[in-house]
Structure 1
Amino acid sequence: MLLEILIFLLPSLVAYYLYVYKKIHYKFQEHGVKFLPGLPLFGNTIKSTFLKNHIIQDLDIVYKAFPEERYVGYIELTTPIIVIRDPELIKQITVKDFDHFVNHREFFTEDLEPLFGASLLMMKGDRWRDMRTTLSPAFTGSKMRLMMPFMTEISKNIVEDLRDRVNKDLDLEDVMRRYTNDVIASAAFGLQVNSLKDRDNQFFLKGTEFVQLSQDYKDVFSLVAAMFPNFLKMLNVQLFPKATMNFFRDIVSNTMEQREKHNIVRPDMIQLLMEAVKGTLNANSATEKEKDVGFATVHEEMKHNAVTREWTQNELAGQVFIFFAAGFDTSSSTMTFLLHELTINPDIQEKLYQEIKEFEETRKSLTYDNIGQLKYLDCVLNELLRKWSAAIVMDREVTKSYELPPPHEGGKPYKLNPGDIIYNVVNSIHMDPKYYPEPDVFNPERFSEENKHNIKPFTFMPFGIGPRACIGTRFALLEMKVLVYYIILNYKLLKSAKTQDPVKLKPMDFNLRVYDGSWVKLEARN
């Protein structure tokens, strides 16, 4: 049997080997694009595919191999990708010449994953532009002001529930996921849950199921999809069970139906989406638009014209779903790293505590209008987003032919054709000593009022850049700042025997996790 399998596979491997070296390698070599050859079938991702490296580390190896190049070649399984290293070229691609790079790379089609495929993240062309225009007023400062009380209430629930865990090993990842679960349940779906008390509530279990399935099967699913793009479609294979996806779809449709029927109004994402579709959702005034949640806030780049497109129920559910997916998993992971860094950097934690304590004594309450006054908190969060950015890359699919300038002085231009993929790297630039001296050191002072002018444009991109940047940056920053404020005000974070220092990444796909988990101890403050 084994011999038969080898006889079947050998010709395919040989054919692929020739394909790589005659097609991918030849094209890179012909245009003077430097690259690391990699291995047949796996390219430069052999280590991350077999969970020896995180994908960030595979990318960083290629990024660091050619420090003088504006861009380099990267082979992801069987796909050739141009990795952009130069901040000026990133600016050109993501902003000035955006019309050539409108779309994200398609990982899952709408046929395979209806909610994921119908989300703003995966939409393409004019359909994406119209949905972005429809949704943008829902993420302005005035709308975030209405959502902040949900975050404050849930943060205080977390603080209260943690009192029983003082001086015990605390799993930060679990607590952060329960916090983001409750915030998303309230701010997006209009549900009231307390996941620390009701640990097995249905919303949390479904969210955990979604994340766990993603972790367990996404590598294999992505490998098969990349090598045999029509195979999964032919078999009608889905990454996530229909029951899980139907759960979220039903919440959205049932909630909308009930609110229409009984004229219920609640300042959450479903309500804002209902108003946006009707054209009754107004953006901020010019004054309100100027109020940021922090230095990392991304400003809306697009000019918005009236949208007349009618959205299907599945498309509407897809927007709430992707909001959940990003908020539940990505935000919780980022906050885990934030509190972990404060634990292993006690001097920074103490300085932050002194700022929060003084703020609490003088202003008495935290609001959307005064949260920006916590300057050191903003520095801490920016440094966290630099060192542990969830973005990794800003992927783009070429939509119109484009000629890149030569990769180095005296080189040849490189022509990109529709369908080609480029990666504008984020983490590798964030960790490049050329832009951030001693990048492994957690140093919030990089973002102080005295120093942040030294940050080179397009070298700090935690939420992306340009029209395709993350639409929910204000929500994400607010969600993180509110919880950190109340936790540091009430507890001191201490190392336990299980606390990693320095942090080691768990080798996964695109999510960031601390290897063997993030564990700390709490000490109640007076």
Structure 2
Amino acid sequence: MILLLFGIAIIATLFYYYCIKPMSYWKNLGVQQTEPIWFFGDSWRNILRYQNVLELIDYLYYGSGNGRYGGCYTFTTPTLIIKDPELTKQILVKDFDHFVDHYLFQGSDYDPLWGKNLIALKGEKWREMRSILSPCFTSSKMKAMFKLMLDCAERFTEYFLSLSVAEQTENQAIPLEMKETFTRYATDVVASTAFGVEVDSLNEPNNSFYLMGRRVTSFGFWKAMRFFMNILLPKVCAIFRIRFLDDETMSFFIGVVEETIKVREEKGIVRPDMIHLMMEARKGKPKVEEGAADDETSISHVDVKTPVNITNMDIAAQAMIFFFGGFETSSNLMSFLAYELAADSDVQSKLRTEIEDTWNECNGKLTYEALLKMKYLDMVISETLRKWPVNLATDRLCTKPYTIEPAHPNEKPLHLKKGSYVSFPTYSIQHDPKYFPDPDKFDPERFSSENAHKIVPYTYLPFGGGPRVCIGNRFALLETKTLFFYLLKSFEIVFIEKSCVPLVISKKDFNLVMQGGNWLGFKSLKKGA
């Protein structure tokens, strides 16, 4: 009996120490916080499907007080929510050296494909890889990739024009689920620009690239559990080799990269893509950074005249995360953009007018320069990213002790230890009426030349900010602009009977997914086609 009681006492003590006590971390530091529950913290709201991901982010933003920052809990991990634009700039830019790394992505030897990608890399390893990859996204490289995107966009549009003729639906809308449809375009673009592989995901719906993209980005319950376990219990996952990515996924990406490298080396093939640049860096060939970055996002660049130790696994890891981003985030942006255009015919009509004017000015051949000059297209996409940011929140890990100095009389210095986790709720800030009046209204005029200056700096961060801003943001914008140029030149995007109006975000998914799918129609503008 005594041993039983002793055992119960030990279990109770451990439960209190590891599951209950952490929930008072911020309160003990005098920081306003949410109302977490033991072990799960605030994460239970999404894990148990009580709130969708947007509702959870809003809860953390408004439920942690009305100060410049507030406390919440990712399971048992104390998380500081940064709400003030000036403090956001301070952490992301001015004091970046204290917050170099991400927290939510853990590098590991037993899950190398996930642990060696640019987002997961830390410190100097990140700096080195970032400097190697940066030239992939300069103006000249974007212009070269634009030609590949153009082919994909034209093929995409021609497919549905042919479909409307074949099925005699030129006066009716072709019903489509937008997320699924746009992931096929994104698959073709990324396969071509990153891997040098030609894929046609509309005519070959079950091609391996598309199926693997679905596999990687499908965030079911057990995959989410593996993800959270690698965050919360990395040592346990290392012992039992619990990886986020399964063997089949790893084999696919490693196999494609190794085969691509082999063929290119044997046949001397050169393409303006990521794999080529990393192969060149491995040989020690110099590269020139074109187009200097602004002071707030620039980083020091390594001298690649000296060969860099890059393995095929390193290349596969970067290709995989690039594919992940192109497949998931870009298609999400396109899906929500299509919905907003269907919901606002005036915006769609105005955008189509700009497209037609640009097409005529180009004499029927779209150019890279002409596309980038389209101001209203840029405004429409910017507003889509404000209302539906591709990164709903971004995070940083405190890599050395840091003090947030008081800015108001009711504040006191807040000392953050090394390893502290801070989060920036992008979605909630971009929907705060204090910064964006009538935030639920889709209004591209917010980003017009007359109004853009009114936007408070660091309240609009759809791709993050500072030196760790999303490296592929220009790529995502370019592939989206290219597709919608051709799409709206030939089709009107409309609601159909199956459309969910207004849209509802699903509680069953851990990421941003429309409940019931995003069903819209493509209605051909070619009369009598």
What TM-score results when the alignment is normalised by the length of structure 2?
0.91
Q: Which of 145, 148, 153 is the matching residue for 1:147?
A: 145
Paired position in structure 2 for 1:438: 438
Aligned partner (choices 263, 271, 290) of residue 266 of structure 1: 271
Aligned counterparts, 1:357-376, within 5 A: 357-363=356-362, 364-376=364-376
**Taking structure 1 as reference, are residues 298 and 508 closer, same or farther at Cα in structure 2, changes over 3 Å only?**
farther
Matched, 1:230 2:235: yes
Contact 2:286 2:303 in 1 (8 A): no
CA contact (8 A) 1:141 1:284 kept: no
Q: Measured at CA, do residues 281 and 174 of structure 1 come closer, stay the same or move farther in structure 2, by a change above 3 Å?
A: farther
- Alpha-carbon deviations, 1:167-207, whole Å to 9, x = none? 23211111101000000111111111111001111221122
Among candidates 66, 80, 88, match of residue 90 of structure 1: 88
Letter in 2 for 1:452: A
Counterparts of 1:427-466 in structure 2 under 5 Å? 427-466=427-466
Report if aligned partners of 1:463, 1:469 keep a CA contact under 8 Å in 2. Answer: yes
CA distance in 2, matches of 1:508, 1:76: 19
2:303 aligned residue (288, 303, 306): 306
The 1:414/1:510 distance shift into structure 2, 3 A limit, reads: farther
* Structure-1 residue corresponding to 2:344: 345
**Equivalences for residues 60-75 of structure 1 within 5 A:** 60-65=58-63, 68-75=66-73
Cα displacement (A) at 1:129: 0.7
Q: By how many angstroms is 1:383 displaced?
A: 0.3
Counterparts in 2 of 1:300 and 1:405: CA distance versus 1, 3 Å: closer
Contact kept in structure 2, 1:138 and 1:276, CA below 8 Å = no
Deviations 1:83-135 (CA, angstroms, capped at 9, x unpaired): 10011001010111000001111534323421110111100111111111111
State the AA in 1 paired with 2:299: M
1:262 deviation in Å? 1.4
Instruction: Determine the structure 2 residue equivalent to 1:221.
Output: 226
Instruction: Supply the distance in 1 between the matched residues of 2:405 and 2:373 (Cα, whole angstroms).
Output: 43
The 5-angstrom pairing of residues 278-357 of structure 1 reads 278-280=283-285, 282-283=287-288, 285-286=290-291, 300-307=297-304, 308=306, 309-357=308-356
Aligned to 1:42: 40
2:62 & 2:239 partners in 1: Cα distance?
40
Instruction: Give yes or no for contact 2:41–2:73 (8 Å, CA) kept in 1.
Output: yes
Equivalent of 2:261 in 256, 261, 277: 256
| More off after superposition, 435-444 vs 39-48 | 39-48
Say whether the 8 Å CA contact 2:230–2:244 is kept in structure 1: no
Question: 1:18 deviation in Å?
Answer: 5.6
Partner of 2:203: 197
Helix, strand or coil at the partner of 2:242 = coil
Of stretches 361-370 and 181-190 in structure 1, the one that deviates more from structure 2 is: 361-370
User: What's the CA shift for 1:21?
Assistant: 5.0
Q: Distance in 2 between matches of 1:169 and 1:350?
A: 20
CA distance in 1, matches of 2:467, 2:269: 33
Task: Quickly say closer, same or farther: Cα 1:12–1:523, change in 2 above 3 A.
Answer: farther
The verdict on how the C-alpha distance between 1:112 and 1:503 changes in structure 2, with shifts beyond 3 A counting, is: farther
Q: CA separation in 1, counterparts of 2:210 and 2:40?
A: 35
Whole-Å Cα distance in 1 between the matches of residues 68 and 330 of structure 2? 31
**Post-superposition shift, 1:273?**
2.4
Deviation at 1:480, TM superposition (A): 0.6
Q: Which residue of 2 aligns with 1:126?
A: 124
Task: Give 1:157 shift.
Answer: 1.0
- Is the 1:177–1:332 Cα contact (8 Å) retained in structure 2? yes
* Alignment pair present for 1:171 and 2:169: no
CA RMSD between the two structures? 2.3
Letter in 2 for 1:302: I
Give the Cα–Cα distance (whole angstroms) in 2 for the partners of residues 238 and 302 of structure 1: 31
Please show how residues 396-415 of structure 1 align to structure 2 within 5 Å: 396-406=396-406, 409-415=409-415
Q: Secondary structure at the match of 1:422?
A: strand
How many Å apart are 1:253 and its aligned residue? 1.5
Q: Which moved more, 1:401-410 or 1:86-95?
A: 401-410
Cα distance in structure 1, aligned partners of 2:332 and 2:10:
43
SS of structure 2 residue aligned to 1:301: coil
Shift of 1:244: 1.8
CA positional deviation for 1:65: 3.1
Aligned residue type for 2:496: S
Aligned residues: 509
Residue 4 (structure 1) aligns with? none
* Residue 227 to residue 468, structure 1, CA distance change in 2 (3 Å): closer
CA deviation vs aligned residue, 1:269-321 (integer Å, no higher than 9, x gap): 222322233344633545xx59xxxxxx9984113241444112211211111
Decide whether the 8 Å contact of 1:327 with 1:476 is kept in 2. yes
- 2:60 is the alignment partner of 1:54: no
Secondary structure of 1:369 counterpart:
helix
Alpha carbons of structure 1 residues 191 and 285: separation in structure 2 relative to 1, 3 Å = closer
- Structure 1, unmatched stretches of 5+, are 1-7, 291-296
Corresponding residue number in structure 1 for 2:395 = 395
User: 1:118 and 1:299 mapped to 2: Cα distance?
Assistant: 25
Query: Tell me, which stretches of 5 or more residues in structure 2 are unaligned?
Result: 1-6
User: Contact 1:49 / 1:219 at 8 angstroms: preserved in 2?
Assistant: no
Deviation of 1:408 (Å): 5.0
Q: Do the aligned residues in 2 keep the contact of 1:138 with 1:283 (CA within 8 Å)?
A: no
Aligned AA for 2:335?
T
Identity %: 38
**Contact 1:119–1:319 at 8 Å: present in 2 too?**
yes
Q: TM-score with structure 1 length normalisation?
A: 0.91
1:108 to 1:524, Cα distance in 2 relative to 1, 3 A: same
Shift of 1:372: 1.7
Match of 1:294 in 2: none
The SS at the match of 2:340 is: helix
Once the two structures are superposed, what CA deviation does each residue of 1:346-397 show, in whole Å capped at 9, x if it has no partner?
1111111111111112223222222122100000000011111021222111
Question: Match for 1:97: what amino acid?
Answer: D
State the alpha-carbon separation in 2 of the partners of residues 496 and 395 from structure 1: 38
Aligned counterparts of 1:508 and 1:409: Cα–Cα separation in 2: 43
Secondary structure of 2:346's counterpart equals helix
- Are 2:246 and 1:241 aligned? yes
Bigger Cα displacement from structure 2, 44-53 vs 95-104 = 44-53
Deviations 1:209-229 (CA, angstroms, capped at 9, x unpaired) = 2222x3342322234344543
- Do the aligned partners of 1:135 and 1:276 also contact (CA within 8 Å) in 2? no
| Counterpart in the other structure of 2:4 | none
Quick one: structure 1 residues 407 and 395, their matched pair in 2 at CA, closer, same or farther if it must change by over 3 Å? farther
